[in-house]
């Protein structure tokens, strides 16, 4: 029988080295969050003069980045098993550094596209490798606490610094010299982030390497699941392309969207058959899906990704286009949503799981907060008070800060310990697919509802179509006040999105109540390396 991978926690290196490795992971998470925040949340005057398809509504920056991130996760999951954690983390950091440098120095659309692809691949690679390292070093509850604490540097980097520094007050000015100064400062900040990543790369080279084994690479290459990866990559590309195009470049009933979705779905079905029947060492282990509670858990993760996409994207849209806030004002509200509320909430979840082993209550609280956030959003109009805006941000932050860490660590309770790392990586992958689905459905529903309400008024059909196309092209990047006659229609269209989000969150909350959520066993228990369920037969 082939040697099994080491049990989680078996590589613990002592408190000092474990702390240094945690510092490496936290620094990588911070830089990763800052880089992504700069890409998505801040306007990019340094690249607005780069005319090209990247700024077309059909295939924007978010779609390119999301596509690369999704495809990279299972690839680096396999690389970390073949070559070890250190080479996989180093490769992820190198790709992210290259992408960050390319974005900072981009003077053409092609250079910017290359940078975004590299950043997406590096960011997607970092996520599964970080989770596997934490699985190697810590037992179940301690690992869960560390994973929850990792969301704090992400929140600080992605929202607070990205919006307050990158989206500087200079972005509010209209003069030519201020635009040039803003572009120069943003490039400098991106280079500073690249420098932080380089420091983290050096620390990773010095502290990792605990799992180095002579001949490991060639031994694991022979068992790598190249068949599963070759099925997943084209299937994932087709589905994500269809979701990126649906509702923006093409309608849902367009043949291009239909063909891409159909072929991608067939590919995933074939992938499931191959992984369960043919693969020697599946990249998506069937044993991780053998419990119904695990499947329900992943469905809830998908629904959360969908709801989170609608919440984040259209709250930002509401701040900029309905309220008419500047980028800094909107960024500060988003920072409150992510850092002041979501970050500390994730830390509370981590401590709770560490002390009690229970995560079901945290998930339930998270879904209740998400439902409350969507219902609170229904009361937001163009004349909303700051108290209403802050109340909505608090509810949304509490929901996000509870759900993401609780779902990530909670799925460990429904799988065998050897599948814990793969199961947590699956939550990341499924949430990203849900996020892409939310982008597509949100865009389609909002455009349809806005067009319906404008056409019922005195607006001409041509004007309506031009407005919708303009919103699709600019997305959430430019702050401009909608025509006063359009604002009520936009608020009503947003109301339909909030209703959809509340309904999705309510369904997920019911599923969570029905699902079995075994408590995580104590780390000092004799069964600390055992699963909450029986191990699969092929491990025995």
Do the beta carbons of residue 429 and residue 74 sit within 8 Å? Answer: yes
DSSP 456: T
95 versus 342: the higher-pLDDT residue is 95
In tens, the pLDDT along 43-69 reads: 444 445 444 444 443 346 667 787 888
Question: What confidence score (pLDDT) does residue 59 get?
Answer: 44
Quick one: 74 and 129 in the same domain?
A: yes
Quick one: 344 and 314 in the same domain?
A: yes
Distance CA 213, CA 192 (A): 35
Quick one: 200 and 260 in the same domain?
A: no
What average pLDDT score do residues 456-474 get?
60
Whether residue 409 lies inside any domain: the answer is yes
Helix 487-514 and helix 292-317, axial crossing angle in degrees, nearest 10: 160
Question: What confidence score (pLDDT) does residue 457 get?
Answer: 67
Listed residue (180, 200, 215, 216) closest to 85, CA to CA: 216
- Give me the chain's average pLDDT, please: 77
In tens, the pLDDT along 204-214 reads: 888 887 776 66
CATH of the domain at 444: 1.20.1250.20
What average pLDDT score do residues 177-194 get?
67
**pLDDT confidence tier of residue 376, bands split at 50, 70 and 90:** very high
**pLDDT confidence tier of residue 502, bands split at 50, 70 and 90:** very high
Question: What confidence score (pLDDT) does residue 536 get?
Answer: 37
Listed residue (84, 330, 339, 333) closest to 213, CA to CA: 84
DSSP 514: H
Whether residue 526 lies inside any domain: the answer is no
Q: Report in angstroms the alpha-carbon separations of 73 from 25, 69, 440.
A: 16, 6, 21
Quick one: 355 and 273 in the same domain?
A: no
Whether residue 429 lies inside any domain: the answer is yes
The answer to pTM > 0.85 is: no
3 state SS of 166: helix
Quick one: 36 and 63 in the same domain?
A: yes
Q: Between vectors from CA 61 to CA 57 and to CA 62, what angle results, nearest 5°?
A: 90
3 state SS of 478: coil
Quick one: 268 and 301 in the same domain?
A: no
Domain that holds residue 256: 225-280
Quick one: 200 and 314 in the same domain?
A: no
Final residue of a structural domain among 280, 302, 319: 280
Distance CA 57, CA 61 (A): 10
DSSP 286: G
3 state SS of 142: helix
Question: What confidence score (pLDDT) does residue 415 get?
Answer: 78
Quick one: 307 and 438 in the same domain?
A: yes
3 state SS of 250: strand
In tens, the pLDDT along 126-173 reads: 988 988 888 888 887 888 888 888 888 887 777 655 555 555 444 444
Res 431 pLDDT > 50: yes
Total domain count, the chain: 3
């Amino acid at each position: 029988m082939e040697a099994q991978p080491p049990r989680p926690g078996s590589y613990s290196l002592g408190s000092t080295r474990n702390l240094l490795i945690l510092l490496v992971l936290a620094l990588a998470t911070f830089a990763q969050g800052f880089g992504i925040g700069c890409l998505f949340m801040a306007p990019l005057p340094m690249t607005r003069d780069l005319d090209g398809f990247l700024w077309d509504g059909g295939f924007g920056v978010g779609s390119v980045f999301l596509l690369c991130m999704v495809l990279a996760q299972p690839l680096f999951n396999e690389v970390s098993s073949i070559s070890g954690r250190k080479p996989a983390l180093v490769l992820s950091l190198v790709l992210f550094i290259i992408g960050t440098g390319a974005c900072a120095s981009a003077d053409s659309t092609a250079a910017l596209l290359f940078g975004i692809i590299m950043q997406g691949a590096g960011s997607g690679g970092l996520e599964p490798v970080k989770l596997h390292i934490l699985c190697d070093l810590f037992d179940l509850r301690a690992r869960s606490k560390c994973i929850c604490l990792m969301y704090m540097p992400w929140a600080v980097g992605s929202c607070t610094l990205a919006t307050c520094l990158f989206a500087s007050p200079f972005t509010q000015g209209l003069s030519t010299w201020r635009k040039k100064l803003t572009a120069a400062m943003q490039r400098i900040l991106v280079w500073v982030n690249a420098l932080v990543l380089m420091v983290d790369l050096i620390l990773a080279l010095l502290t990792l390497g605990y799992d180095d084994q002579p001949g490991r690479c060639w031994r694991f290459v022979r068992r790598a699941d190249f068949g599963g990866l070759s099925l997943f990559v084209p299937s994932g590309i087709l589905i994500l392309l269809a979701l990126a195009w649906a509702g923006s470049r093409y309608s849902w009933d367009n043949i291009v969207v239909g063909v891409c979705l159909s072929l991608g779905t067939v590919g995933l079905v074939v992938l499931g058959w191959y992984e369960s029947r043919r693969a020697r060492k599946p990249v998506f282990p069937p044993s991780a899906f053998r419990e119904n509670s695990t499947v329900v858990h992943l469905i809830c993760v998908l629904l959360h990704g969908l709801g989170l996409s609608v919440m984040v994207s259209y709250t930002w849209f509401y701040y900029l286009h309905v309220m008419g806030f500047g980028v800094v004002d909107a960024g500060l509200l988003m920072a409150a949503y992510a850092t002041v509320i979501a970050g500390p909430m994730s830390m509370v979840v981590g401590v709770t799981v560490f002390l009690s082993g229970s995560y079901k209550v945290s998930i339930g609280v998270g879904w209740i907060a998400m439902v409350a956030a969507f219902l609170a959003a229904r009361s937001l109009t163009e004349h909303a008070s700051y108290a209403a805006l802050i109340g909505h941000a608090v509810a949304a932050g509490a929901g996000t800060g509870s759900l993401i860490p609780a779902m990530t660590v909670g799925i460990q309770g429904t799988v065998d310990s050897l599948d814990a790392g793969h199961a947590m990586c699956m939550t990341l992958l499924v949430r990203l697919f849900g996020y892409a689905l939310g982008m597509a459905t949100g865009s389609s529903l909002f455009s349809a509802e806005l067009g319906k309400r404008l056409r019922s008024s005195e607006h001409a059909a041509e004007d309506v179509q031009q407005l919708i196309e303009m919103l699709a092209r600019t997305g959430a990047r430019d702050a401009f006040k909608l025509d006063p006659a359009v604002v009520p229609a936009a608020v009503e269209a947003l109301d339909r999105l909030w209703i959809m989000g509340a309904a999705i969150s309510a369904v997920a909350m019911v599923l969570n109540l029905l699902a079995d959520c075994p408590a995580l066993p104590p780390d000092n228990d004799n069964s600390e390396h055992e699963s909450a369920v029986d191990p699969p037969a092929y491990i025995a």
